[in-house]
Amino acid sequence: MAKRAEKKKTEPALGEIAAPEWERILREMVLVRKFEEASEKAFRKGKIGGYLHVYSGQEAVVAGITSALRKDDIVYAGYRDHAHALLLGSDPKDVMAELYGKASGVSKGKGGSMHLFDVDRGLYGGYGIVGGHLPLAAGTAYSLRYSGTDRVCVCFFGDGAMNIGSFHEALNMAGLWGKRGMCPVIFVIENNGYAMGTSVDRHSAVTDLSARVEAYAIPSEKVDGQDTFAMRGVADRVISQVRMTGRPYCIEAITYRFSGHGAADLFQPYRSKEEVEESRHRDPILILSKRLREMTGLTDEDLQEMSDWADEEVAEAVRFAEEAEEPDPKELFEDVIALEPGREPDGDVSSPLHWGPRDEGGGEEDEEDEEAEDAEDVEAAASSEQAGDEEGEEE
């Protein structure tokens, strides 16, 4: 259970992040780009099955947010989820192995490109039903608060997800629970302008997407999703605010995907070559490199070194995935349900958050008291926010 000392931890604000960290973020974005290029190549060779949706062009959105998160925060993604796994620290070898359907993949080869899970790194999954994961994120946020922690949940989704019923149900419930300081969730709209092949103005009656969110009493703001500095700046401010208040917030990142919707979307009749070409000038990796040249003195040699490093990492991931074992046939029937028919449930839930039954170990009453105190803290945070008295929260 988180203690107050942890809650006071502050992330560096925009411009205050040390040079090595910015360079680390850039390095990871380069890795994501190279990984996606390699995965497309492998898909074309028939090594990767099903669908493959790559994140090229949108790297700043996830990089800006995840770099501002704590290790114990939780992230949900849609089906375009490779970047989320990589930027949360999943091993590229295991992610590539998952795309190849191998036993060592992050989801044991049973999820594939659209269902990357790495619970130890906070990734609670990529989901293939557009917008279906939004309620899960709201529920998880409730759970984080209920258990007395100040952890937050981030839910990434595309502009197209805003038209499914689950979006509205999740945001309404998050808005309601937020009024009680019980829903520390950050909804991040990865607005790349297209729901598959349908542009925003053809799928949304109101095209100001962050305005639509405000209908549910959830504050929101737009940010340039190609600018990692801007993304990280918003993330630092919003995450610490949500962590403190337990209230939801929405960030609309205006971004662009360079590749098609999926690897099979070759002709892209819904957008012009000129538009795609034009968007290349807003490449988040170029923008961040340029900023770092000015700010930290990043050199061509540094960039070359990053590129070479990423090439080698990705080549290693591909080699690993190629050579990795396929799942054992007996895996087919594993992980369907936990229950063993006819047996009494053991009640031990493997989730890392589970705080166990009351009778576990000694000091039962102390534990309860602590929980009660934490619950009071949460309520105090929510009410002091309501009163606009944020000083009081800092103790």
Partner 1 sequence: MAEKSYRDAVRDAIFEEMERDDSVVIMGEDIGVYEGTFRITAGMLDKFGENRVIDTPIAEAGIVGTAIGMAMTGMRPIVEMMTFNFALVAADQILNHAAKIRYFSGGQLDIPMVIRGPHGAGVGLSAQHSQSFEAFFGHFPGLVVVAPSTPADAKGLLKSAIRGKDPVIFLENAALYAIKGEVPDDSDFTVPIGTSTIARKGADVTIVASGKMVHLSLAAAKTLEEEDGIDCEVVDIRAIRPLDVAPVIESVRKTHRAVVVQEQWKPFGFAAEIASSIMDEAFDELDAPVIRVTGADVPMPYARNLELLAVPHEPDVIQAVRDVAYANGV
Residues at the interface with partner 1 (CB under 8 A): 74, 105-112, 115, 117-119, 124-125, 127, 129, 132-144, 146-147, 153, 165-166, 169-170, 172-173, 176, 180, 182, 334-345, 347, 349-355, 357-358, 371, 375
Q: CB-wise, 137 or 234, nearer to partner 1? A: 137
Question: At closest approach, how far in Å is the CB of 369 from partner 1?
Answer: 13
Question: At closest approach, how far in Å is the CB of 22 from partner 1?
Answer: 32
Q: CB-wise, 139 or 193, nearer to partner 1? A: 139
- Token digits for 18? 């040390």
Q: CB-wise, 8 or 358, nearer to partner 1? A: 358
Q: CB-wise, 22 or 177, nearer to partner 1? A: 177
Question: At closest approach, how far in Å is the CB of 169 from partner 1?
Answer: 3
Question: At closest approach, how far in Å is the CB of 57 from partner 1?
Answer: 27
Q: CB-wise, 20 or 352, nearer to partner 1? A: 352
Question: At closest approach, how far in Å is the CB of 394 from partner 1?
Answer: 25
Question: At closest approach, how far in Å is the CB of 249 from partner 1?
Answer: 17
Q: CB-wise, 136 or 235, nearer to partner 1? A: 136
Question: At closest approach, how far in Å is the CB of 352 from partner 1?
Answer: 8
Q: CB-wise, 47 or 115, nearer to partner 1? A: 115
Residues 29-45 as b or e (16 or more Cβ within 10 Å = b) = bbbbbbbbbbbbebbee
Question: At closest approach, how far in Å is the CB of 219 from partner 1?
Answer: 20
The three state secondary structure string of the chain is CCCHHHHCCCCCCCCCCCHHHHHHHHHHHHHHHHHHHHHHHHHHCCCCCCCCCCCCCCHHHHHHHHCCCCCCCEEEECCCCHHHHHHCCCCHHHHHHHHCCCCCCCCCCCCCCCCCCEHHHCEEEECCCCCCCHHHHHHHHHHHHHCCCCCCEEEEEEHHHHHCHHHHHHHHHHHHHHCCCCCCEEEEEEECCEECCEEHHHHCCCCCHHHHHHCCCCCEEEEECCCHHHHHHHHHHHHHHHHHHCCCEEEEEECCCCCCCCCCCCCCCCCCHHHHHHHHHHCHHHHHHHHHHHHHCCCHHHHHHHHHHHHHHHHHHHHHHHHCCCCCHHHHHCCCCCCCCCCCCCCCCCCCCCCCCCCCCCCHHHHHHHHHHHHHHHHHHHHHHHCCCHHHHCC
Question: At closest approach, how far in Å is the CB of 221 from partner 1?
Answer: 24
Q: CB-wise, 21 or 364, nearer to partner 1? A: 364
Amino acid at 286: L
Neighbours of 314 (CB within 10 A): 23
Q: CB-wise, 352 or 392, nearer to partner 1? A: 352
